[in-house]
């Protein structure tokens, strides 16, 4: 399986971007209760949501038939469903499945619902879970470096599944990168790479801050299996 390993230069660049974003934010009294790490975490968390929204739009534009399965929904209403509600997300159309279980629906031959929504609901919930369902961080808020690292590996697994898993007709469950054309489109690969870099960076920052180690020996990427968060 192809792994999206990030070079130290890429990690440093993403870190610089996050720090720059922090310095551009307007001052708030609440920021007095934040460490530098909290400010970076806030910026990365916001950036992750931006990347997830871009992925949602790109997947629907590439797979319009999925959105058409629910005529009363648009890309805008789907975006509000996923990003306007804090905390846990449970949707009846996904039988209440969350995180990895929801993502797996997108690759289930027996699932007849909106595969883009299932995938994005699961991915968004998994990212939320890796940040303990918080959107803003203060001095006393703690994160788990292993959750962040495992979520990055799961994004790699997801990218691999989208490129390699096929339905009963031998076609991809969802269309992403277009490589069989004269002008290859690898924008999905780049988007996944950005998200992986952000999560890996946060895992290393938290591990360094708490003096805890990351278990780098995980089998999910090699087997195409998602890792529990």
Residue 137's domain comprises 8-223
Q: Is residue 142 part of a domain?
A: yes
CA-CA distances (angstroms) from residue 72 to 66, 75, 77, 78, 197? 12, 10, 9, 10, 36
Count of domains in the chain? 1
Q: What is the pLDDT of residues 149-173, one digit of tens each?
A: 999 999 999 999 999 999 999 999 9
Task: Compute, in degrees rounded to 10, the torsion defined by CA atoms 103, 179, 221, 149.
Answer: -70
pLDDT at 15: 56
pTM beyond cutoff 0.75: yes
Q: Is residue 2 part of a domain?
A: no
Task: Tell me how far the alpha carbon of residue 122 is from its chain's centroid.
Answer: 9
pLDDT at 1: 59
Which residues of the chain register pLDDT less than 70? 1-33, 179-184
What gap in Å lies between CA 55 and CA 123, rounded to an integer? 10
Helix (H) or strand (E) holding 79: helix 75-83
What gap in Å lies between CA 21 and CA 39, rounded to an integer? 9
**Closest of 31, 27, 53 to residue 42, by C-alpha:** 31
What gap in Å lies between CA 22 and CA 19, rounded to an integer? 5
Q: In terms of C-beta distances under 8 Å and separation of at least 24 residues, what long-range contacts does 180-188 make, across chains too? A: 187/58, 188/55, 188/58, 188/159, 188/162
Place of tokens 């440093």: 12
Q: Is residue 201 part of a domain?
A: yes
CA-CA distances (angstroms) from residue 106 to 24, 30, 117? 38, 40, 8
pLDDT at 139: 76
Judge contact between 111 and 189, C-beta under 8 A. Answer: no
**Count of alpha carbons within 13 Å of 106, Cβ hemisphere only?**
27
Q: Is residue 229 part of a domain?
A: no
What totals of helices (H) and strands (E) does the chain contain, helices first?
Answer: 9, 0
**Closest of 152, 149, 178 to residue 163, by C-alpha:** 178
Q: Is residue 179 part of a domain?
A: yes
Q: What is the pLDDT of residues 25-53, one digit of tens each?
A: 555 545 556 788 899 999 999 999 999 99
Q: Is residue 149 part of a domain?
A: yes
Q: Is residue 1 part of a domain?
A: no
Q: Is residue 124 part of a domain?
A: yes
């Amino acid at each position: 399986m192809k792994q999206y390993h990030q070079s130290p230069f890429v990690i440093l660049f993403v870190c610089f971007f996050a720090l720059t974003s922090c310095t551009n934010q307007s001052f708030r009294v609440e920021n007095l209760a934040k460490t530098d790490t909290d400010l970076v975490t806030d910026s990365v968390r916001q950036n992750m949501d931006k990347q997830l929204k871009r992925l949602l739009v790109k997947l629907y534009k590439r797979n319009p038939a999925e959105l058409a399965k629910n005529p009363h929904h648009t890309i805008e209403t789907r975006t509000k469903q996923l990003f306007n509600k804090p905390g846990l997300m449970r949707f009846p159309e996904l039988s209440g499945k969350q995180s990895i279980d929801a993502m797996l629906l997108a690759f289930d031959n027996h699932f007849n619902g909106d595969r883009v929504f299932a995938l994005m609901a699961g991915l968004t919930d998994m990212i939320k879970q890796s940040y303990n369902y918080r959107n803003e961080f203060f001095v006393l808020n703690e994160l788990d470096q292993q959750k962040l690292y495992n979520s990055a590996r799961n994004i790699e697994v997801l990218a691999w599944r989208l490129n390699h898993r096929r339905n009963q007709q031998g076609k991809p469950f969802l269309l992403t990168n277009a490589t069989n054309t004269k002008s290859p489109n690898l924008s999905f690969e780049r988007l996944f790479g950005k998200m992986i870099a952000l999560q890996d960076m946060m895992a290393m920052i938290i591990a360094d801050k708490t003096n805890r180690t990351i278990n780098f020996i995980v089998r999910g990427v090699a087997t195409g299996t998602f890792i529990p968060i």
